[in-house]
Structure 1
Amino acid sequence: MIHQETRLRLMALLAGLGEGARVEFGWLKEALKVTEGNLSSHLGKLEEAGYVEVEKGYQGKRPRTWVRLTPKGRAAYEAHRKALLALLQGP
């Protein structure tokens, strides 16, 4: 699930923000340099897996979407990161 480049970058960004931190959809779109549709698609897959939580609401009168990493997502990201580091270190 996480190995796809955009999803891996997304998970790394969220994990780097600290536990419980949430970011706005537009910030993620700009940080990852992807389209809204592309980001929505990847977020949908990660949300289905239980790795991210997507929250919709309003800031003033403007609709907003916020994203946060779940504990399950953090654990999956850390396991994936450790596996990648082990591959890079070799036997």
Structure 2
Amino acid sequence: MDPSFDEFLHVPARLSIVAMLAPADWVDFGFLRDAIGTSDSALSKQISALADAGYVAVRKDQERRARRTYVRLTPEGRQAFQRHAAALERIVAVARTQAERPTPDREPGA
């Protein structure tokens, strides 16, 4: 396995979150929830895990009468995502290379 492959980050929900955060600065919790298609509680659980790992920062603001939560990648989280994405690209490249190699015909009964 590629040493840059991040098993913690590879969990589909976490990978979806960091992929959504990668091109942005602060992202609204509700937007993130709707874009990923998950529940508040499931998203909150994954954001907490990512925050505990140092991959995301969470900011809570009071806007009028509503409390809003915003999330962004930390520099460490951004680097981890970039390393993991590069590892996935290398894994796919190897698979493509192997798929393109001609296979020798097998003798009957081999």
TM above 0.5, one fold?
A: yes
1:39 pairs with 2:46? no
User: Pick from 29, 41, 49: which aligns with 2:33?
Assistant: 29
The SS at the match of 1:3 is coil
Which structure features the higher share of helix residues? Answer: 1
1:70 pairs with 2:42? no
- Extract unaligned runs of 5+ from structure 2: 1-7, 98-110
Question: Deviation at 1:57?
Answer: 1.6
Bigger CA radius of gyration: 2
- Extract unaligned runs of 5+ from structure 1: none
Q: After TM superposition, what 4+ stretches of structure 1 lie above 2 angstroms from structure 2?
A: none
User: Pick from 51, 55, 60: which aligns with 1:56?
Assistant: 60
Cα RMSD of the aligned pairs, angstroms, is: 0.9
1:14 pairs with 2:21? yes
1:87 pairs with 2:108? no
Identity %: 38
Q: For the residues of structure 2 that align with 1:12 and 1:56, how far apart are their CA atoms?
A: 21
Which structure features the higher share of strand residues? Answer: 1
Q: Which residue of 1 aligns with 2:3?
A: none
How many residues are paired up?
88
